[in-house]
């Protein structure tokens, strides 16, 4: 009997547990519903949707747009960009550039301080820059130290010299001296790039590898500070940083990021008024493009086909040209993608870089390899003769995203229609695998993309130099190499105007030989509530800046 009672107790205990936990859930829900009213959007808090989590709050580790955006809200660098994309001083109060363009001396604002009350010092920059260049940090953007042309940057990156030998020194608490190995025309613009943002060494030593895992392990010197955060958080809250040197001009009281991956849910929340800024995906663009709240922003991303010139057939220039002109880019951009993308008859995207003449690179440069089925067929005939081959079969590597698959299917059918004798076999795979295979040279054609790192054509042109680490297709041209290397640290780097003209020439060379086959320039589309203004959108580096935002 006692045995039975025990079991009895257990069973009824379990049952009541179930019931209780269910009730518990419900009663708590009721209690909480009263608090709900308070959480509805505050008037001066900007609610932004992003579709991917922040990967890192560490300026020297972060690589993706979302991380960049959130870091830039909380940390200022020496420079920032204005609404037109021109570099303007941020933490740099004054900048002295030596006549030969090799030495920069920055005075850091006296009133710049971290949220723990410590001043922002020159040493903060020295620390973070050495950290960026140190191969042990494993920073994906380490190489940008070499792009910026700092003395010994490439040697430090290669592990041949100690990070202490990098050409950056703190002359005193607020004076930073930077020595370059060669003049870099876009150096100031680079200073607005997140990888060059400072960190406080003392604080970093204190928190160690816990940096950026909670609001307590983050430090701000910028317009906002983080009040709610955890690694891979789906909501991030920021509050205006009252100790920010320019706090007066910041109108927002705070910001709230919400990660929403489902674009339909994001749009419903926007229509609900819970979000102020939401990114549109694929077909939504077409649906909302006439809405007054619709904003189309050009992104600097270029999608192109990389032909592997080591593959039989693709070493032939005429065949590559035939392929390049055989598909209708406009149709791909306007009827397949429908996301604000535009046809690319070039490799340097529109809105990327402004020349010494104050004009966008594209305004004065030519266009190449436009869709032209007749010219394509002609080039194909020549190619057939030159190679002595009538039929060609190429694999086309694409990543398994919806847009890439759609584009590749159109590419296949149009190339095969225009060029009788060419067969395209689409190979779908995850992006990481595609990158792997392309880097190994294990492909024929690859649909790939490149996003710009800084506002200069070189961010694209240096990809395709002979033996370049991103020159997957092994295309090679001596004249092209000469121009690019001279523009980096040779004679051309000293003469900005001649350099600019030479870069146009370099683009002409790679396009004339169809070293890569451009397809389209990515467009971004967002919806922004009409009471919000002052969000700056950029095609390069930091894509969205919120310092001037006003919410009425």
> Contact positions toward another protein, by CB under 8 A?
7-8, 10-11, 14-15, 18-19, 21-22, 25, 28-29, 32-33, 35-36, 39, 53-56, 58, 61-63, 135-136, 138, 140-143, 158, 209, 212-213, 228, 230-235, 258-262, 265, 268-269, 271-272, 274, 429-430, 432-433, 435-436, 439, 450, 469-470
Nearer to another protein, 271 or 531 (CB): 271
Judge residue 309's burial from the number of C-beta atoms within 10 Å of its C-beta, 0-12 exposed, 13-18 middle, 19 or more buried.
buried
Please, what is the minimum distance in Å from the beta carbon of residue 370 to another protein? 27
Q: How far is the CB of 9 from another protein (least distance, A)?
A: 10
Q: Which is nearer to another protein, 112 or 519 (CB)?
A: 519
Q: Which is nearer to another protein, 250 or 527 (CB)?
A: 527
The one-character DSSP state at 231 is: T
Distance in Å, CB of 66 to another protein, minimum: 12
**DSSP track, 267-318:** HHHHHHTS-SEEE--THHHHHHTTSTTEEEEEEEEEEEEEE-TTSTTTT-HH
CB neighbourhood size of 430 (10 A): 11
Q: With respect to another protein, which residue has the nearer C-beta, 19 or 247?
A: 19
Cβ at position 263, least distance to another protein in Å: 11
**Residue nearer to another protein on the CB measure, 38 or 84:** 38
- Report the C-alpha gap between 386 and 509 in whole angstroms: 21
3-state secondary structure 341-379: CEECCCCCCCCCCECCCCCEHHHHCCCCCCCCHHHHHHH
The closest alpha carbon to 544, from 341, 352, 351, 299, belongs to: 299
SS3 383: helix
Rounded CA gap, 227 and 379, in Å? Answer: 61
**Rounded to the nearest 5°, which phi and psi values hold at 170?**
-95, 110
Shortest CB 198 distance to another protein, Å: 19
Residues with Cβ within 8 Å of 236's Cβ and at least 6 positions away in sequence, in order, are: 54, 70, 226, 228, 229, 256, 257
CB 131 → another protein: shortest distance, Å? Answer: 13
Name the residue nearer to another protein (CB basis): 29 or 478.
29
351, two tokens: 């809105």
85 — alpha (psi -120 to 50), left (phi > 0) or beta? Answer: left
- CB-nearer residue toward another protein: 53 or 202: 53
Q: What are phi and psi of 522, to 5 degrees?
A: -70, 140
Rounded CA gap, 347 and 438, in Å?
19
Residue 95 Cβ, how far from another protein at the closest point, in Å?
28
Is the Cβ of residue 100 or residue 206 nearer to another protein in the bound state?
206
CB of 401 to another protein, least distance (A): 10
Count Cβ neighbours within 10 Å for each residue of 355-373 and write b for 16 or more, e otherwise. Answer: beeeebbbeebeebbebbb
Q: Please report how close the Cβ of residue 268 comes to another protein at its closest, in angstroms.
A: 5
**Which of 245, 257 has the CB closer to another protein?**
257
CB of 36 to another protein, least distance (A): 6
Residue from 406, 448, 411, 424 nearest 329 by CA: 411
**Nearest-approach distance from CB 464 to another protein, in angstroms:** 14
User: In the bound complex, what is the minimum distance in angstroms from residue 62's beta carbon to another protein?
Assistant: 8
Q: Which is nearer to another protein, 52 or 310 (CB)?
A: 52
139 vs 221, beta carbon nearer another protein: 139
User: Among residues 80, 48, 8, which one has the least CA distance to residue 455?
Assistant: 80
Closest CB to another protein among 140 and 479?
A: 140
Across 138-148, b (16+ Cβ under 10 Å) vs e yields ebebbbbbbbb
Rounded Cα–Cα distance for residues 22 and 497 (Å)? 73
Give the residues across from 278 on adjacent strands.
Answer: 527
């Amino acid at each position: 009997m006692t045995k039975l009672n025990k079991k009895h107790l257990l069973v009824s205990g379990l049952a009541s547990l179930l019931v209780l936990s269910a009730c518990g859930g419900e009663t708590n829900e009721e209690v909480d519903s009263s608090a709900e009213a308070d959480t509805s959007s505050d008037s001066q808090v900007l609610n932004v949707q992003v579709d991917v989590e922040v990967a890192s709050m560490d300026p020297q580790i972060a690589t993706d747009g979302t991380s960049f955006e959130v870091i830039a809200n909380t940390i200022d660098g020496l420079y920032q960009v204005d609404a037109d994309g021109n570099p303007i001083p941020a933490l740099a109060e004054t900048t002295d550039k030596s006549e030969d363009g090799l030495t920069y001396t920055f005075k850091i604002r006296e009133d710049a301080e971290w949220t723990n009350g410590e001043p922002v010092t020159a040493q903060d920059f020295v620390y973070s820059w050495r950290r960026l260049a140190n191969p042990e940090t494993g920073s994906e953007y380490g190489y940008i130290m070499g792009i910026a042309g700092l003395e010994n940057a490439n040697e430090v990156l290669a592990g041949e010299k100690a990070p202490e030998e990098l050409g950056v020194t703190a002359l005193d608490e607020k004076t930073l001296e930077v020595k370059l190995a060669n003049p870099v025309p876009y150096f100031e613009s680079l200073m607005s790039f997140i990888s060059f943002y400072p960190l406080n060494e003392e604080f970093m030593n204190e928190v160690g590898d816990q940096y950026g895992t909670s609001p307590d392990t983050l430090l701000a010197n910028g317009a906002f500070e983080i009040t709610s955060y955890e690694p891979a958080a789906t909501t991030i809250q920021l509050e205006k940083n009252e100790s920010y040197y320019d706090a007066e001009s910041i109108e927002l009281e705070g910001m709230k990021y919400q990660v929403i991956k489902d674009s339909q849910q994001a749009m419903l929340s926007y229509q609900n008024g819970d979000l102020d800024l939401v990114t549109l995906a694929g077909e939504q663009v077409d649906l909302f493009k006439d809405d007054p709240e619709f904003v189309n922003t050009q992104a600097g991303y270029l999608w192109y086909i990389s032909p592997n010139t080591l593959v039989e057939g693709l070493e032939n220039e005429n065949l590559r040209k035939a392929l390049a002109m055989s598909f209708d880019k406009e149709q791909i951009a306007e009827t397949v993608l429908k996301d604000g993308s535009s046809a690319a008859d070039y490799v340097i995207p529109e809105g990327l870089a402004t020349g010494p003449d104050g004009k966008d690179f594209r305004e004065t440069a030519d266009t190449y390899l436009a869709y032209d089925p007749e010219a394509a067929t002609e080039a194909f005939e020549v190619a057939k003769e030159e190679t002595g081959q009538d039929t060609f079969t190429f694999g086309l590597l694409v990543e398994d995203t919806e847009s890439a698959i759609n584009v590749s299917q159109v590419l296949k059918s149009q190339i095969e229609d225009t060029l009788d004798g060419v067969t395209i076999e689409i190979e779908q795979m995850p992006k990481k695998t595609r990158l792997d295979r392309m880097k190994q040279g294990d492909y024929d054609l690859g649909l790939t993309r490149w996003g710009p790192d800084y506002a200069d054509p070189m961010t694209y042109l240096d990809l395709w130099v002979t033996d370049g680490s991103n020159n997957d297709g092994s295309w090679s041209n001596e004249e092209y190499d000469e121009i690019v290397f001279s523009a980096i640290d040779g004679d051309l780097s000293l003469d900005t105007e001649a350099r600019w003209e030479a870069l146009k020439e370099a683009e002409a060379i790679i396009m004339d030989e169809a070293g890569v086959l451009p397809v389209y320039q990515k467009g971004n589309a967002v919806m922004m509530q009409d009471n919000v203004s002052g969000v700056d959108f950029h095609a390069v580096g930091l894509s969205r800046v919120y310092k001037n935002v006003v919410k009425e």
